[in-house]
C-alpha cells in the first residue's frame, strides 16, 4: 500500500497524493502558511529527504508583455485600456509561475488560487484553487503547458458559468509544514468577463456580425425623432476606455449585489436596470424632463458614456441629467463592457400604460382639450430601451435570445424602478406570463389608444375614438457593421390586422392581461387631418377634411387644440384653440383651415 502522510493547514487536511483542499488564502489562521519572501525558499520533506519547491514569485502577467497580449487577443479583450489581464470565462488563458528551483511534477504540489469578494468560500464559488494535478478535481480546469528551468507555464480555464468580476490571484505550494503562498498584489488581479464566443456560456452569440457589433463596437447611433422623420444621434459607448470596466463593477458593488449572482446575466441585467437610474437606490443617472438643467448637464449635451460612468464611480453620487436615450446608451456600455451582447432599440409611438389594460386612455375635457389631471397614460413619440442576448434557462425552450431591458424609470417592478429582462420572443407571441415585466413591454408596442369625453347628461366617460394601429409603429436599431438602421418591428409583433396579431392578443388575455374592449357608436361623418411637413421657423397651414357618408345633411361642432408636446407625450403650452362649426350636404365633403404662425409655438 502507498505510504501517505497527513498534516493540518488552515483547518483542512492535505495528503501527499494531491487530494488536499488547499486552504483559503484570505481566511487561514495565523501560523498555518508562509508567505512569499518569508523564511528560506525551500523546505525539506522529512519523510523523503527531498527538497520541496518554493514559490519565489508569481509572474506579474503584464511583465511578460508578449504572453499578456496573446491572452488578450485570444480572448478578444485587447481593446481594454488596462495593464491587468482580462479574460473571458469558459476559455483557457496562460500565466507563468517562477519557482526557486526547477519544477518536478512527481514531487511538487502547487495550485493557482482565485479569490473574489470579501468572504471567499469554495462552496460558493468565490474561492477557486486550481491544481495542475490530473487527479485533482476543481470547478476550473488547470494544466501545465510548459516547464523550463524554474518557470512553469500554466493553462487555466475558468468555468463557463463562473462569477464575473475582478479576481485576486495567489500561488500556493503544499509542504509538510503548511502552505507557502505569494502575497496579494493588485497587479496580478485578473478580470473575468462573460464570453459570447464560448458555446457553453449563457451569453453565447453565434452570429459573428452581431457579436462584432453588439460586443466590440465602441460607437453607435441612437435613433429618435418621429416615425416619419427619423433622426440619428451618434454616441460613443466607450466600453474599453480606461476606468470604465472598474466603474461597471463598482455599480454592482454599489447595488450590494451578491457576489454569487454576478455570473448570471439575467440577474446582472435586472440589477443594472435598477442601478442605472437614481430613483430608489442612488443609481447612476438622474432623470429630468423639466427643461431646467441648471444643476447638471442637459440630456441633449451628452455624447458618450465614459464621462458619466467615471463621474459616478469617482463621486459616488448620481449624475445629472438623463432622458431615455441617455439611460439606454449608458446601459449599453455597461452590458458590452462586461461581455453581454447588447444594442439600443427605439420604439416609435411608444405607449406608457400605467394600469396594464393594454389601453392608452386619453381623457378630454368639455372643450376637447386633454384633461391632464385625469389622463395618466401617455404616448411617447419615441422611447429607447436595450436588448441583451442570453439564454433563459428559467423559461421554456425558445424564449432565449434577445431580451428587452429598460433603465428609464417609468413603473416599479418588485418595488424598484426597473424593467426586464423580458423575452422578445415571448412578447411577440403574447406569452406575457414569463418574467420579467413582459406585460409592460408588450403594452409599449401593442396598446390601443382610446379617447374619452364626458357625457354631459350623467358625467360618465364615453369613448369617442379608438386607434388600434398607432402604438408600436416601428422598432429600429443599428444594423451590424453598417451606419444604417434595421427595422426589427417584426421581432416584437405580427403585422397589424393579421390573424396572428389577433391570436397574440387573445393569448395575452389568457395570461391575465385585462384588455378592455371598446365599442364606438357608429359615425357617418369622417374626419381627416392631412399630415404636412413643416420646416422649423416657418408658418404652416392646418386643414381638416370632412366626408358625410349619410343621406342626410349633417352639422358638426369641433374643438381644435394645438399644443407643444414633448417626446414623452407630455403637453406644454397651447398655441391654437378653435371651435369651428360646419354643415355638410348628404354624401358631400368639406374642409376648414387656419394659418398657424410660428410666433405662436416657438
pLDDT of residue 64: 62
Residue 150 has pLDDT above 70, yes or no: yes
Domain extents for the chain? 6-193, 208-510, 525-600
Q: What is the mean pLDDT of residues 540-568?
A: 83
E-strand stretches of 33-139? 33-35, 43-44, 51-52, 55-58, 85-88, 93-99, 110-115, 127-131
Instruction: Assess if CATH 2.60.40.10 describes domain 525-600.
Output: yes
Q: Is 557 exposed, middle or buried (0-12, 13-18, 19+ CB in 10 A)?
A: exposed
Among 194-203, 369-378, 585-594, the range of highest mean pLDDT: 194-203
Q: Domain spanning 208-510: which CATH class is it, in words?
A: alpha beta
Judge whether 150 is annotated as a binding position. no
429 labelled catalytic: no
Confidence of residue 53 (pLDDT cuts 50, 70, 90): low
Instruction: Assess if CATH 2.60.40.10 describes domain 6-193.
Output: yes
What predicted TM-score, i.e. pTM, was given to this entire model? 0.85
* Lowest model confidence (mean pLDDT) among 169-178, 230-239, 365-374, 545-554: 365-374
487 labelled catalytic: no
Residues contacting residue 207 through CB under 8 Å, at least 6 positions apart: none
Residue 141 has pLDDT above 60, yes or no: yes
pLDDT of residue 23: 59
Per the rule left: phi > 0, alpha: psi between -120 and 50, beta: everything else, 243 is left
pLDDT of residue 29: 37
Between 114 and 50, where is the model more confident? 114
C-beta of residue 36 within 8 angstroms of C-beta of residue 161:
no
Residues contacting residue 118 through CB under 8 Å, at least 6 positions apart: none
- The DSSP 8-state label assigned to residue 507 in this structure reads H
Judge whether 448 is annotated as a binding position. yes
Judge whether 411 is annotated as a binding position. no
Q: What mean pLDDT, rounded, does the chain reach?
A: 86
Which listed residue (324, 384, 388, 419) is catalytic?
324
Confidence of residue 24 (pLDDT cuts 50, 70, 90): low
Give CA separation, 505 vs 286, 301, 384, 398, 490, in Å.
35, 40, 24, 19, 15
Report which of 424, 458, 217, 493 is spatially closest to residue 332, judged by C-alpha positions.
Answer: 217
pLDDT of residue 519: 66
* Lowest model confidence (mean pLDDT) among 326-335, 388-397, 508-517: 508-517
324 labelled catalytic: yes
Confidence of residue 32 (pLDDT cuts 50, 70, 90): very low
Judge whether 496 is annotated as a binding position. yes
Residues contacting residue 257 through CB under 8 Å, at least 6 positions apart: 267, 268, 271
Residue 9 has pLDDT above 70, yes or no: no
Tell me: the pLDDT tens digits for 341-397? 999 999 999 998 777 777 888 898 887 788 888 888 888 999 999 999 999 999 999
Which listed residue (59, 353, 361, 406) is catalytic?
406
pLDDT of residue 518: 65
Which listed residue (383, 388, 419, 429) is catalytic?
383
Same fold, 208-510 and 525-600: no
Amino acid at each position: 500500500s502507498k505510504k501517505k502522510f497527513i498534516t493540518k493547514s488552515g483547518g483542512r487536511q492535505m495528503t501527499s497524493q494531491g487530494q488536499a483542499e488547499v486552504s483559503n488564502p484570505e481566511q487561514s489562521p495565523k501560523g498555518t502558511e508562509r508567505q512569499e519572501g518569508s523564511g528560506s525558499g525551500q523546505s525539506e520533506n522529512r519523510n523523503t529527504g527531498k527538497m520541496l519547491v518554493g514559490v519565489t514569485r508569481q509572474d506579474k502577467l503584464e511583465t511578460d508583455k508578449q504572453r499578456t497580449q496573446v491572452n488578450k487577443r485570444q480572448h478578444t479583450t485587447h481593446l481594454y485600456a488596462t495593464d491587468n489581464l482580462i479574460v473571458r470565462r469558459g476559455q483557457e488563458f496562460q500565466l507563468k509561475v517562477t519557482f526557486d528551483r526547477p519544477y518536478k511534477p512527481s514531487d511538487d504540489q502547487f495550485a493557482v488560487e482565485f479569490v473574489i469578494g470579501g468572504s471567499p468560500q469554495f462552496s460558493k464559488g468565490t474561492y477557486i484553487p486550481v491544481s495542475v494535478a490530473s487527479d485533482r478535481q476543481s470547478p476550473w480546469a488547470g494544466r501545465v503547458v510548459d516547464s523550463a528551468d524554474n518557470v512553469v507555464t500554466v493553462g487555466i480555464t475558468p468555468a463557463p458559468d463562473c462569477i464575473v468580476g475582478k479576481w485576486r490571484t495567489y500561488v500556493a505550494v503544499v509542504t509538510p509544514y503548511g502552505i507557502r503562498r505569494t502575497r496579494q498584489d493588485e497587479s496580478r488581479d485578473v478580470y473575468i468577463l462573460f464570453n459570447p464566443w464560448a458555446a457553453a456560456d449563457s451569453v453565447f452569440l453565434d452570429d459573428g456580425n452581431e457579436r462584432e457589433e453588439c460586443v466590440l463596437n465602441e460607437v453607435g447611433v441612437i435613433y429618435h425623432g418621429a416615425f416619419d422623420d427619423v433622426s440619428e444621434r451618434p454616441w460613443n459607448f466607450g466600453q474599453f476606455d480606461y476606468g470604465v470596466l472598474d466603474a461597471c463593477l463598482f455599480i454592482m458593488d454599489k447595488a450590494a449585489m451578491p457576489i454569487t449572482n454576478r455570473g448570471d446575466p439575467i440577474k446582472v441585467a435586472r440589477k443594472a436596470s435598477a442601478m442605472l437610474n437614481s430613483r430608489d437606490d442612488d443609481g447612476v443617472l438622474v432623470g429630468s424632463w423639466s427643461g431646467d438643467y441648471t444643476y447638471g448637464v442637459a440630456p441633449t449635451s451628452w455624447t458618450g458614456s465614459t464621462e458619466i460612468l467615471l463621474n459616478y464611480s469617482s463621486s459616488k453620487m448620481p449624475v445629472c441629467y438623463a432622458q431615455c436615450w441617455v439611460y439606454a446608451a449608458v446601459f449599453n456600455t455597461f452590458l458590452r463592457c462586461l461581455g453581454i451582447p447588447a444594442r439600443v432599440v427605439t420604439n416609435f409611438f411608444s405607449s406608457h400604460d400605467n394600469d396594464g389594460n393594454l389601453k392608452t386612455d386619453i381623457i378630454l375635457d368639455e372643450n376637447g382639450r386633454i384633461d391632464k389631471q385625469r389622463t395618466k397614460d401617455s404616448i411617447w413619440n419615441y422611447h429607447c430601451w436595450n436588448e441583451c442576448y442570453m439564454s433563459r434557462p428559467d423559461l421554456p425552450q425558445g424564449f432565449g435570445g434577445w431580451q428587452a431591458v429598460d433603465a428609464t424609470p417609468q413603473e416599479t417592478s418588485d418595488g424598484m424602478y426597473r424593467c426586464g429582462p423580458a423575452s422578445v420572443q415571448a412578447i411577440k407571441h403574447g406569452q406575457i406570463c414569463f418574467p420579467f415585466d413582459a406585460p409592460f413591454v408588450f403594452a409599449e408596442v401593442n396598446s390601443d389608444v382610446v379617447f374619452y369625453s364626458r357625457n354631459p347628461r350623467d358625467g360618465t366617460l364615453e369613448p369617442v375614438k379608438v386607434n388600434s394601429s398607432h402604438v408600436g409603429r416601428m422598432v429600429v436599431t443599428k444594423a451590424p457593421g453598417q451606419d444604417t438602421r434595421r427595422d426589427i418591428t417584426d421581432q416584437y409583433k405580427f403585422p397589424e390586422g393579421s390573424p396572428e396579431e389577433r391570436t397574440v392578443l387573445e393569448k395575452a388575455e389568457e395570461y391575465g392581461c385585462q384588455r378592455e374592449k371598446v365599442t364606438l357608436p357608429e359615425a357617418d361623418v369622417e374626419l381627416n387631418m392631412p399630415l404636412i411637413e413643416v420646416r422649423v421657423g416657418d408658418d404652416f397651414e392646418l386643414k381638416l377634411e370632412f366626408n358625410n357618408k349619410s343621406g342626410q345633411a349633417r352639422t358638426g361642432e369641433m374643438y381644435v387644440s394645438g399644443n407643444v408636446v414633448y417626446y414623452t407625450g407630455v403637453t406644454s403650452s397651447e398655441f391654437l384653440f378653435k371651435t369651428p362649426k360646419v354643415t355638410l350636404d348628404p354624401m358631400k365633403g368639406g374642409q376648414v383651415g387656419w394659418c398657424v404662425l410660428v410666433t405662436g409655438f416657438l
